[in-house]
Structure 1
């Protein structure tokens, strides 16, 4: 195996991404495309787009599911776990430390620096949406579907409507978007297990959803209760980290495990650090019961999405070579771009761009990223420093 083929190589690649992937799930998908489609050519653009479309429809953290599947494709189950661990570890550690020291940090630095990180996230997300839009919406019909999907998501918020919009776009794509043979060229996704194992993963995911609440009734305990709460949140949320907020708030705040102010401070920090937003679970678990709680919460919130992905991939993968499915997927991919555009506006833009100064800071960040090609960490540091010095 080459250094990039085994689990260790996969871990190191995703660890680097976990250290610099600011901007939330929308931006992560752009980072992954650049790293694994454009640069390393692990997958074709078509196969990557199909994978993104599937993960957008399934419950769970879409960007982490995509990374998990990329690791699975490259180095089997060990590679899948290595990809998740590498991408998740940096932000999980930061969130655990923030749970311990956020009051002291706010006292020393003030709160404006956090807002600067949010402004940087807008620039990073915008760059990612631009890149994916150019790749997945190359013509007038796909762009029209993307804009219609964006309008639908903004006007009809909620995960149920989002799934309906994606499925509708797939139906329209199957009729209106013929597939060109050249689009199917390139490496396709490899799966190291059979459909029999896929059924086992689906059964385990369902069994845990039923068994964990019963276990809490029979064996009440803080960590078991946390595992149940975070597993249910991960199994029932569509649309990524922002959508899981009300579910976790309902589980953690009324019970007294985490205070409302502490909850919102952690959520703000989760949007500002690199890596998956679902590492917010590590912060909440740390606040609730310490290090053990953080590890249990992380396992609980990621596990259902990964089990469902493993269960669905072999059946979905078998449809890749069907022309009708390929056309439907072109429509779904256009809808995904529209959903990412909607996410760029709500909540990313609305929670960060609150004044003319924020807009100016955003413009400078976009200039640094897209024209001067500066690394993301430099742009993030620039925004945090500017806001911390009173620009905001």
Structure 2
């Protein structure tokens, strides 16, 4: 339904609980009408399933796919609203591209549409990684070990490229570069999850002090698709689970609770999404002895070869952990646990986003948090990625040959995965 405002010719698009305001002229009215039509969850599932099978390249590439599909081709959302939505999801903890897809599904077909968007985009890569978890156990002998080592070398190249790109974009000045270096030193000195959380908080406080001069007043307006009451309930659930799950884990011997808590905390505390989740998941899964660093990094390398969000790596981890449940049950707990907090905080933030993003202090704090994220990932590049993988000059050579095409030539990560796995197997055979 489209209601025209005769005073300023603004069209208000009402879709379920979603209200979008966009400045549209008469030449756009056909596209506006299409965007306003309520879709079905099945339609959303079909389109996102196609994206879930074809979206390679990480969260930034996913955003590009979404823009082409929903802004340009289908006109479900206009350019300005899409840009504001992406900005919100990049500032929140959790998987940014999945949060954008979740929101578009919510806009198109309500809460069932949001669930359909998440399912279609997420489940294909999760299923592939679970299959890899079972097949990796069958890889034996020198060639199989070399193949898995090649996947671990992929992780070196991928994480190094992520640190390089994020440092250039998020630490372009002395203040933010200093925050990143400070956080890296803290994480390397105190390799615990508490240190990671404390370093990010410290980065936000430093940004509040050092980065206020960079603040700009955002243009436009973002009307919320979620009521404030629903948003407050979602926020309450986010923080309640974050507090209750560790307490419940300490009071019970249930490994299911422990697995869900490990995944939930990783998803709840990761700003920047994508590769930044690596150190949190390692601390949550490797530190308790649930699996080895080798198995962890092999799965991380395999995750670069599949489409969809990198957070589906948690499905692999849940499938291979040593305590029960593992297999399909563990994969399901890991997958739901890591995605749930990002979706809850997204629902909680949407009603308050427009006023929050215009505050100078909030912008400065998030600049500091983003710089701290670069420091966390930089520390992870050294330990565990480098220290547990680079053992010989040949290892460094394979990782370097993977890093340069990713960074300079911008080849798809799938190409680097294939090269590194083949090189690792060939080195073992020779």
TM over 0.5: yes
2:197 is aligned to 163
Larger RCO: 1 or 2 (CA < 8 Å, sep 6+): 1
Partner in structure 2 of residue 100 of structure 1: 134
Alpha-carbon distance in structure 1 between the residues aligned to 2:288 and 2:189? 27
Of 352, 375, 386, which residue of structure 1 is paired with 2:423?
A: 386
Q: Which residue matches 2:298? A: 269
The yes-or-no answer on 1:135 pairing with 2:169 is: yes
Cα shift at 1:137: 1.7
Deviation of the 1:86 alpha carbon = 4.5
| CA pair 387-171 structure 1, distance change in 2 beyond 3 A | same
Number of residue pairs matched by the alignment: 360
Once residues 119 and 48 of structure 2 are traced to their aligned partners in structure 1, the CA distance between those partners, rounded to angstroms, is: 10
Q: Which has the larger radius of gyration?
A: 2
Give 1:305 deviation, angstroms.
Answer: 4.8
Match of 2:257 among 217, 221, 228: 228
Kept in 2: contact 1:231–1:304 (CA 8 A): no
* Residue in 2 that maps onto 1:198: 231
CA distance in 1, matches of 2:52, 2:222: 18
Matched, 1:72 2:106: no
CA RMSD of aligned residues (A): 4.1
More deviation in 230-239 or 111-120? 230-239
Please report how far the alpha carbon of residue 278 of structure 1 lies from its aligned counterpart in structure 2 after TM superposition.
Answer: 1.2
Task: Tell me by how many angstroms 1:103 deviates.
Answer: 3.6
Contact 1:171 1:331 in 2 (8 A): yes
Q: Quick check: 1:339 aligned with 2:376? A: yes
Q: Is the 8 A contact 2:263 2:334 kept in 1?
A: no
Q: 1:325 aligns with which of 355, 362, 366?
A: 362
Offset of residue 375 of structure 1: 2.0
Shift in Å at residue 383 of structure 1? 0.9
Deviations 1:47-90 (A, max 9, x none): 756644531xxxxxx3x3x2332123333245653554345334
1:203-218 pair list within 5 angstroms: 203-204=236-237, 206=240
In the alignment, which residue of structure 2 is the partner of 1:279? Answer: 315
Q: Secondary structure at the match of 1:283?
A: helix
Aligned to 1:59: none
1:361 aligns with 2:398: yes
Q: Is the 8 A contact 1:71 1:81 kept in 2?
A: no
**Residues 190-199 or 329-338, more deviating:** 190-199
* Aligned 1:14-93 pairs, distance under 5 A: 14-17=52-55, 20-21=56-57, 28-29=58-59, 31=61, 51-55=89-93, 62=94, 64=95, 66-76=96-106, 77=111, 80-82=114-116, 84-93=118-127
Q: Distance in 2 between matches of 1:375 and 1:29?
A: 13
Greater Cα offset, 67-76 or 101-110: 101-110
TM-score, structure 2 length as denominator? 0.68
Equivalent pair of 2:208/2:365 in contact (CA under 8 Å): yes
Deviation, structure 1 residue 192: 2.0
**Aligned residue in 2 for 1:173:** 207
Indicate the larger mover: 125-134 or 29-38: 29-38
Q: Tell me how far apart the structure 2 counterparts of residues 289 and 172 of structure 1 sit (CA, whole Å).
A: 41
Shift of 1:370: 2.7
Question: Where do 5+ consecutive residues of structure 1 fail to align?
Answer: 22-27, 56-61, 254-259
Give the direction of change, closer, same or farther, for the CA distance of 1:190–1:97 in structure 2 (3 Å limit): farther
Structure 2 unaligned runs (5+)?
Answer: 1-33, 72-78, 271-276, 304-309
Partner of 1:25: none
| Higher helix residue share | 1
Moved more, 313-322 or 143-152: 313-322
User: Are 1:230 and 1:297, in contact at CA under 8 Å, matched by a contact in 2?
Assistant: yes
Does the 8 Å contact 1:235/1:304 carry over to 2?
A: yes
Q: 1:251 to 1:196 in 2, by over 3 A?
A: farther
Output the CA distance in 2 between the equivalents of 1:242 and 1:13: 27
Taking the aligned partners of 2:425 and 2:145, their CA distance within structure 1 comes to: 8
CA distance in 1, matches of 2:45, 2:294: 35
Q: In the alignment, which of 295, 305, 311 is matched to residue 332 of structure 2? A: 295
1:117 aligns with 2:148: no
